[in-house]
Amino acid sequence: MISSSFVTTGFELPGHRIAKNLGVVRGIVVRSRSIVGNIGASIQVLFGGNITIYTALCEKARADAFRLMIGHAAEMGANAVIGMRYDANEVAAGVTEVLAYGTAVVVEQQRPQPL
């Protein structure tokens, strides 16, 4: 499994060089809100502030999409993912797709240059 410290939104990993580019990887999760969740969130909306029920749903969806993306990269033989991003789209009313994507790469630790 790929360590989360080897996943970056940047296009390089400090102290490492990209030895091989394996291509785009992704993890997709589609979630819906439950009726109970909607009722609880509606009550929270009345009081204002952070809607914790939706926050928890979003965090879980992103974590699941991230985990699937990492698994996809590992299956391809990668040990890192660069250029990682999230995207979300509403598929239908109350149904949201969360996508985690990036470029699967094989990185090698850079050797220090002699002085």
The pLDDT score that the predictor gives to residue 25 is: 98
CA 25-30-71 angle, to 5 degrees, is 30
CATH code of 38's domain: 3.30.110.70
Two structure tokens written together for 29 = 């999760």
* Residue 45 confidence (pLDDT) above 70: no
Beta bridge pairs of residue 32: 95
Question: Considering the domain boundaries, does residue 54 fall inside one?
Answer: yes
Lowest mean pLDDT among 8-12, 42-46, 78-82: 42-46
* Residue 39 confidence (pLDDT) above 90: no
Question: Considering the domain boundaries, does residue 86 fall inside one?
Answer: yes
How many domains does the chain fold into? 1
Phi first, then psi, for residue 37 (nearest 5°) are -60, -40
16: domain range?
Answer: 4-109
Question: Considering the domain boundaries, does residue 70 fall inside one?
Answer: yes
